Amino acid sequence: MDLLEIRPAVPAERQPLFALHEELFRGEIEEIWGWDDASQWRNFLKEWAESETFVIYKAGRLVGCVQYFTRTDHLYLFNLMVEREFQSQGIGSEAVSWLKGVAREKDTAIGLQVLKTNPRVLEFYQRQGFEVVETVDAGLKLRWDGERMR
């Protein structure tokens, strides 16, 4: 596998990342809540402003991103995107490993939520060592406590 570059995102990458968000999630969002272009864009910009956003490049091509919020007792991973043609190539796993390194440096856990409509994503995070800790309306909350808790 080509080496990945994971680095802080810059404003010029917002639009391509939003296009990727729409490509990957529009169907699920439409099914559960309905899709509205303007409100999705506003929400994307709000999350961009309030979160840590890192882009993932492979061989010089933007292929995804990792977005998380820093909470008092954990990092909340709310978005991990990888272009469809690059999925199942270890990029998501490498991005999660990278975020685990960030969590270890901060001596904290990682939390996230997956939609119940996407069992493939749930299985992915469980393979990465995340455990289901709570069921909520549309999804499941997961947590990784890493070696710090053992």
C-alpha to C-alpha distance for 28 and 15, rounded to whole angstroms: 20
pLDDT value at residue 26: 67
- Give the per-residue pLDDT at 115: 82
- Give the pLDDT confidence score for residue 38 in this predicted structure: 87
Could you give the CA distance from residue 131 to residue 129 in angstroms, rounded to a whole number?
7
State the Cα–Cα distance between residues 25 and 133, nearest whole angstrom.
24
Return the domain boundaries, the chain: 4-149
CATH number for domain 4-149, candidates 3.40.1280.10, 3.90.1150.10, 3.40.630.30, 3.80.10.10: 3.40.630.30
**E strand intervals along the chain:** 4-8, 52-58, 61-70, 74-82, 109-115, 131-135, 139-144
- At residue 74, the pLDDT reads 96
- 10-residue averages of pLDDT along the chain (150 residues): 87 94 77 77 92 96 96 95 92 96 96 88 95 91 76
pLDDT value for 150: 41
CA gap 84, 100 in Å, rounded: 23
What pLDDT was estimated at residue 149? 45
